């Protein structure tokens, strides 16, 4: 896949220049590659830091702003941010009430966020792990389940709790609840292309798809012939529902694009997913359809469901004002 | 490019099912394939209708809502909506103060919107043409310049004027001002794939790009070897500035993705564009970066600049609440 880039080794740095030019509501620490709110939140509120490899935009930098993150650390494409980056972000956003690290479950991310937490001597740091991908236990870069789409929900909901002024242990409790109550599954029709590599991350024959793919192109459960949308919807809905905590609460649903599939197809896919959820007796309280956690230009999509009680729904509905997610304010 | 679809002949109808399921703020007239606001605007306000071929999402259906469109007619992929569709939309949204048709300059669209306006006997209908693409005069489906990215600006700004309760002639005046003051230019790195066709719309060698491409893959000015982002930015900025009405006013800038290029690359491209605009002494008052008017899964981007006086800026900043564009309310 052809790229809109200059120096392939400087893609992330160059993109951060564009982010700063385009978005007055954020500022960029170019030295540490951290995206921060232009206006820090009030003193005495818990701050949220996330980050990870680049290439999943709008995650995480696009979720910096009122009601979500205070800072996002941008690693190289598909590469964990360094402990120094996370430390710089943590120090910059600490408002005296503690900092929550939101960490997707990849070995490098887990290690580097942990190291940063240890180094952040002045700040009270807690951490929550996102590990929602039901496709596989253990994978290329992960022990246990991978962290994928639920990250968007967790950043939104924990962000709302922090914005309300809840103390760190309360924000952690809400974040852990989201982490426990949500599950995801994805499918790839094509591989994305890392700019510095210049060729697709994995080979996939023209008539096949990868069922259960990871957001870095990690292998999923199996490959099979490209199927029509109604069948693909079954491949996403069934394993997610099988692993989702049961209960009478409705769900928040996200049909997420991997970056290379048009919005027209994502809405079409959601139509198929909605039919299956209705058939399964699952009530959908809120819906997101679009590109929220991508894998560069991978064609494909993922489904995330979060079993949401009244508390989570109320926090979901709270105002949010970020480049990637915005409502109610 | 592989597709998330069921029946290739039913893609638009199937996507409309998903749109209705996902978006409580709109309702869908499935018979006429029209997306409407769930809550109609107040009686006595001018209504806005747009539409065109599908495959450019979020345009137009994603811009239905408070502060923008009242209805969007979804044609087949890259095919004008029929007069019947436009008539149904016009009749449905008329609140007694007249209806503005926002028409991109393609022969079929122009003809069918005109026919619908003639058939809409009860309603007072005005029309504004978007023809902002500086790449070529006359093209595959167009006499005169093609209508592309400026459509987003026009729908937003005329929508704000209508929401304020301005009379039809005033909304038309504002819309014509936008149409006169904005210009666009695009570049394709790959062709998009129409679902029913199943293969790329045009052939483009692996190391070439189409400079000045249209949103249906129409030929542009020329082809050349794929260039680095700073050079591509020049190819967009120079012709747009050469044709943009001069004046001391700042611009509203949109770096739009064609659907298949990751957000990371779009921000990177905007960084290059911003440098060139600064060098040219053009002040950027507002910026949009993302996928707003796409060409299915085409990789590439376009630049739109609108010379915006205080009136246009104020209307731009007015609250908007649509699936595709949302702020300030």
Domains contained in chain B, CATH given: 12-181 (3.40.50.10440), 182-317 (3.30.1180.20)
**Mean pLDDT for the stretch of residues B256-280:** 98
Kindly state the tokens that stand for B9: 């002949």
| Cα–Cα distance list, B172 to A7, B47, B216, B263, B313 (Å) | 46, 11, 27, 34, 17
**Whether B142 contacts B107, CB under 8 Å:** yes
**Whether A64 contacts A36, CB under 8 Å:** yes
Q: How confident is the model at residue A143 (pLDDT cuts 50, 70, 90)?
A: confident
Q: Tell me, what's the pLDDT at B143?
A: 87
**Mean pLDDT for the stretch of residues A60-83:** 98
Q: Tell me, what's the pLDDT at A328?
A: 85
Q: Tell me, what's the pLDDT at B76?
A: 97
* B-proximal residues of A, 175-234, CB under 8 Å: 189-190, 192, 195, 206, 209, 226, 228-230, 232
Least confident stretch, A138-142, A315-319, B280-284: A138-142
Burial group, residue B243, by CB count within 10 angstroms (0-12, 13-18, 19+): middle
Q: Tell me, what's the pLDDT at B231?
A: 98
Residue of A nearest to B295 (CA): A262
Q: Tell me, what's the pLDDT at A39?
A: 97
Q: Tell me, what's the pLDDT at A247?
A: 84
Determine the distance in angstroms separating the CA of A12 from the nearest CA of chain B, rounded to an integer.
Answer: 8
Whole-angstrom distance, CA of residue B141 vs CA of residue A132: 47
Which residues in chain A are closer than 8 Å to B1, comparing Cβ atoms?
Answer: 189-190, 260, 299
Position B328 pLDDT exceeds 90? no
Q: How many CA atoms lie within 13 A of A17 on its CB side?
A: 17
Burial group, residue A245, by CB count within 10 angstroms (0-12, 13-18, 19+): exposed
Phi-psi region of A205 (alpha: psi -120 to 50; beta: other; left: phi over 0): beta
Q: Is B268–A6 a contact, with Cβ atoms under 8 angstroms apart?
A: yes
Q: How many CA atoms lie within 13 A of A151 on its CB side?
A: 35
Q: What is the mean pLDDT of chain A?
A: 97
Q: Is B230–A6 a contact, with Cβ atoms under 8 angstroms apart?
A: yes
**Mean pLDDT for the stretch of residues A243-247:** 93
| Cα–Cα distance list, A192 to A70, A214, A274, B122 (Å) | 29, 11, 27, 52
Q: Which pLDDT tens digit goes with each residue over B105-154?
A: 999 999 999 999 999 988 999 999 999 999 999 888 888 999 999 999 99
Position A329 pLDDT exceeds 70? no
**Mean pLDDT for the stretch of residues A106-115:** 98
Q: Tell me, what's the pLDDT at A140?
A: 83
Position B329 pLDDT exceeds 60? no
Q: Is B268–A11 a contact, with Cβ atoms under 8 angstroms apart?
A: yes
ipTM over 0.90: yes
Position A105 pLDDT exceeds 90? yes
Q: How confident is the model at residue B247 (pLDDT cuts 50, 70, 90)?
A: confident
pTM for the model: 0.97
CA A143 from centre of chain: 18
């Amino acid at each position: 896949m052809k790229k809109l880039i200059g120096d392939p080794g400087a893609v992330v740095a160059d993109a951060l220049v564009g982010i700063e030019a385009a978005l007055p509501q954020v500022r960029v620490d170019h030295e540490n590659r951290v995206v921060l709110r232009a206006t820090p939140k009030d003193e005495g509120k818990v701050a949220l830091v996330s980050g990870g490899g680049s290439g999943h935009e709008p995650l995480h930098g696009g979720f910096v702003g009122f009601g979500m993150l205070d800072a996002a650390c941008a690693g190289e494409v598909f590469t964990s941010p360094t402990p120094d980056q996370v430390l710089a972000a943590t120090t910059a956003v600490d408002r005296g009430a503690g900092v929550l690290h939101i960490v997707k479950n990849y070995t490098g991310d887990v290690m580097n966020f942990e190291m940063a937490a240890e180094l952040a001597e002045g700040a009270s740091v807690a951490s929550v792990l996102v590990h929602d991908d039901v496709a596989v236990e253990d994978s290329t870069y992960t022990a246990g389940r991978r962290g994928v789409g639920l990250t968007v929900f967790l950043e939104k909901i924990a962000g709302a709790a922090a914005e309300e002024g809840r103390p760190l242990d309360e924000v952690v409790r809400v974040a852990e609840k989201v982490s426990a109550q949500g599950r995801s599954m994805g499918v790839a029709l094509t591989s994305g292309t890392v700019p510095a590599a210049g060729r697709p991350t994995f080979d996939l024959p023209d008539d096949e798809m990868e069922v259960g793919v990871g957001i870095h192109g990690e292998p999923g459960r199996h490959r099979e012939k490209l199927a029509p949308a109604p069948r693909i919807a079954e491949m996403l809905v069934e394993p997610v529902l099988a692993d989702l905590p049961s209960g009478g609460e409705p769900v928040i649903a996200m049909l997420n694009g991997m970056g290379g599939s048009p919005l027209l197809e994502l809405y079409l896919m959601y139509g198929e997913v909605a039919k299956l959820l209705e058939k399964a007796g699952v009530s959908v309280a809120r819906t997101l359809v679009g590109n929220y956690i991508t894998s560069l230009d991978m064609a494909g999509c993922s489904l995330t469901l979060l079993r949401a009680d009244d508390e989570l729904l109320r926090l979901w509905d709270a105002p949010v004002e970020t480049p990637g997610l915005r409502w109610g304010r």
